Structure 1
Amino acid sequence: MYHLMLVCLGGAIGAGMRHLTVTAAGRALGTAFPWGTLAVNVAGSFAMGLLVEALARKFSVSNEIRLLLAPGMLGGFTTFSAFSLDVAVLWERGAQSAALAYVLASVAGSILALFVGLWLARSIL
């Protein structure tokens, strides 16, 4: 039960960070395209790669800290459920090209960002 509470606490923090990021992106760039969710998914994937590699190579932390940060905070921060909804909204608005571009940018960008995070952690640790 304690581990579940750590994941939930981290998830709440991550969800709050996601909300702030998506809101700021909407204000700065408009809401016609889901820039905020794209940024969250790519940045979260980068952070996950960096965190996982850093914890594996350099920092000896407890399983509790790992649970709080990886599935908790970063799991709450990144969200492919919001991504899926954004794709559906774009598609149903008749913006199929934007929807497909968003899928490609989100998936490729997130995977690339994770590998960059792994590379960066391996380079500096």
Structure 2
Amino acid sequence: MATGVPRAEPDGDGFPESGRRRAEPSGPRLWVLLAVIAAGGATGALARYAITLALPAGDGFPWATLMVNAAGSALIGVVMVLVGEGRGRWGHPLARPFAGVGVLGGFTTFSAYALDFRELLARGEQWLAPAYAGGTVLACFTAVWAGAALTRSFVRRSAQ
């Protein structure tokens, strides 16, 4: 059934150029894509859980969630450069769905961040809760920028 919506053909890495509509997988390709994302998500979630078990509970501040989200954001910056900008560096078209959507989507956690914020408020930490909320956002934006910048620098140097 035609919808009248033009579909872009993917470029060499399986995704269309920016600004164009992405081709939607269907049939067996869709199930492969979903399986790859699910495998990545399970891997990322297990890694996050292992890190939260390994870190001490500490002083009641949600250090584990903050560190996991900042580290995941830095890795998102790395993946954006290697997969999104580095056409052909990670030649397989399933690299971005596995690493970016799956692994890093399962590794980072907005739900724990929101629950930690709520818990700080419930404990009466009126100044710490908003500091945590804003500090996490700032840390994650800084981390994704730094991860991308360092990876671009490394890729340029290794290409010379």
Q: Please report the TM-score for the alignment, with normalisation by the length of structure 2.
A: 0.73
Who is 2:81 aligned against? 53
Partner of 2:48: 18
The root-mean-square deviation of aligned C-alpha atoms, in Å, is 1.3
Question: 1 or 2 for the larger relative contact order (CA 8 Å, sep ≥6)?
Answer: 1
Residue of 61, 73, 83 corresponding to 1:33: 61
Work out whether residues 50 and 121 of structure 1, in 8 Å CA contact, stay in contact via their aligned partners in 2.
yes
Query: Residue in 2 aligned with 1:64?
Result: 94
Q: Which is greater in Rg? A: 2
Do the aligned partners of 1:38 and 1:106 also contact (CA within 8 Å) in 2?
yes
Shift of 1:32: 0.2
1:92 to 103, 118, 122: 122
- Does 59-68 or 34-43 show the bigger shift? 59-68
1:102 aligned residue: 132
Shift of 1:31: 5.3
* Aligned equivalent of 1:42: 70
Counterpart check, 1:75 vs 2:105: yes
Give the fraction of aligned pairs with identical amino acids, expressed as a percent. 37
More helix by share: 1
- 2:82–2:90 Cα contact (<8 Å) kept: no
Matching residue of 2:142: 112
Return the offset for 1:40. 0.6
- Could you list the runs of 5+ residues in structure 1 that have no partner in the other structure? none
Runs of 4+ in structure 1 deviating by more than 4 angstroms, as ranges, are: none
5+ residue gaps in structure 2? 1-30, 156-160
Q: How many residues align?
A: 123
Question: Secondary structure at 2:112's aligned position in 1?
Answer: helix
